[in-house]
Structure 1
Amino acid sequence: MSKVLYIKANIKPEGQSRTNKVSDSFIEEYKKANPGDEVVELDLYKEDIDFLRPEDLGAFFGPKDENSKNHPKLKYVYQFADADKYVISAPMWNLSIPAILKAYIDYISVAGVTFKYTAEGPVGLMNNKKAVYVVSRGGEYAGSPYEMGEKYLRTMLAFYGITDVETIALESLDVVGVDVDEKLNDGVSKARSIAQTF
């Protein structure tokens, strides 16, 4: 049995996010194809996600033991490490990812849990895992030098050892004249197809 961590980073109310419409469809299809797997939903806007403070550093750089697993901020990195697969749903914000998702990445970038330092440099500890990134963008940014969200996420996931990453991108959703419903339907179809073998 696999454990899927479904990470949502969208400030819009339930049912209004175009990004989540696609990612929710992915999860729905995944559950049908893998009824024995566990899916844990983590909505970052419903969590106590904040920027790291000076008082947090002791826990992040201190020993990692059973007690540290109960720390209010370290609990997220242990939850992340415990999963086998990841679905990250976040719209493009200002050419990158929402700030709350970056704050969450700060929470899960913990030496000794998601990666380690060696004499040859940092080494990821989350090997043989995979991820899907679902993103909606107002313009056409695929392959553009302005697109920094997917680049950043792929780099961080690879830093943890997760290199099997697929992106489902909905492009040009805010361009005048674009058939948004058609693009959403295409995104949902692609998501359902990928979910069946994820």
Structure 2
Amino acid sequence: MLLYIDGAVRTESRTRELADYLAGKFICNVEYVRLSKENILPMNLKTLSMRDESCQKGDFSNPYFKYAKQFAKADELILVAPYWDLSFPSVVKAYLESICVVGLTFSYSDEGIPVSMCRAKKLYYVTTAGGTIADDAYGYGYVKALAQGMFGIDEVLLIKAENLDIYGSDVYKIMSEAKRGIDKLFT
């Protein structure tokens, strides 16, 4: 199963356009999570306490854990994350917090090192920017470190198109080049 996590909030999203193109390359079941339509809130004391208590008891029956369960069972992942303010939309961060669950997506070794409980070995991080992406480390780098370090996802691929809103940019050409890059991943 391919899990398509859509962090784009605009109805007409160039990031989603690229991710849809990528998803079209797969021949498998696709589950979609449109974060802008979910009720994912940032972590607060109440949520953190509930999560900690549930993890200690090994009781993940609370609906809060549905995203972590879904993430853990995915075979491959697409994360749609427009480049906003040197990173990604806050709903993406809230989602990432909701899937970091000891006992569902990872555990700890006796030495305190995270051990993956996720099935996926590949995550595609899809982003677009109106200007230049200052540094891949801010959005993509964070997700890559999290995916590899906690979730055991060995391969984290960056798919991007940038400078889309710069005066005189050929948006069609930039998007076409990004799609050709996707095509090369499947040849």
Is the contact made by 1:59 and 1:74 (CA closer than 8 Å) also made in structure 2? no
Task: Tell me whether 1:94 sits opposite 2:90 in the alignment.
Answer: no
3-state SS of paired residue (1:74):
helix
- Choose between structure 1 and 2 for higher RCO, CA contacts under 8 A separated by at least 6 residues: 1
Q: TM-score, normalised by structure 2?
A: 0.89
Partner of 1:130: 122
Q: CA deviation at 1:181?
A: 1.0
- The aligned length equals 184
Distance 1:145 1:10, change over 3 A: closer
Is the CA contact (8 Å cut-off) linking 1:95 and 1:147 kept in structure 2?
Answer: no
Q: Is the 8 A contact 1:138 1:173 kept in 2?
A: yes
Query: 5+ unaligned residues in a row in structure 1: which ranges?
Result: none
Asked if 1:151 is matched to 2:147, the reply is no
Query: Does 2:9 align with 1:11?
Result: yes
Q: 2:72, 2:120 within 8 Å by CA — same for their partners in 1?
A: no
TM superposition score normalised by structure 1? 0.84
Q: Which residue in 2 is equivalent to 1:39?
A: 30
Displacement of 1:169 in angstroms is: 0.8
What aligned pairs does 1:97-112 form with structure 2 within 5 A after superposition? 97-112=88-103
Going from structure 1 to structure 2, the CA distance change for 1:129 and 1:71 (only over 3 Å counts) comes to same
Instruction: Look up the equivalent residue of 1:17 and give its one-letter code.
Output: S
- State the Cα distance separating 1:87 from its structure 2 match: 0.4
* AA at the equivalent of 1:28: G
CA deviation vs aligned residue, 1:137-185 (integer Å, no higher than 9, x gap) = 12222xx447500111101111211121111110111222211111111
* Identity value in percent: 31
Q: Report runs of 4+ in structure 1 exceeding 3 Å deviation.
A: 63-67, 144-147
Structure 2 gaps, min length 5: none
Structure 2 counterpart of 1:6, one-letter code = Y
Amino acid at match of 1:117: Y
User: Cα offset for 1:192?
Assistant: 3.8
Task: Say whether the 8 Å CA contact 2:78–2:124 is kept in structure 1.
Answer: yes
Change (3 A) 1:145 1:90: closer
Q: What does the per-residue CA deviation read over 1:80-137, in whole Å, with 9 as the maximum and x for residues that have no partner?
A: 0011110011110100011000000000011122222223232231366111111001
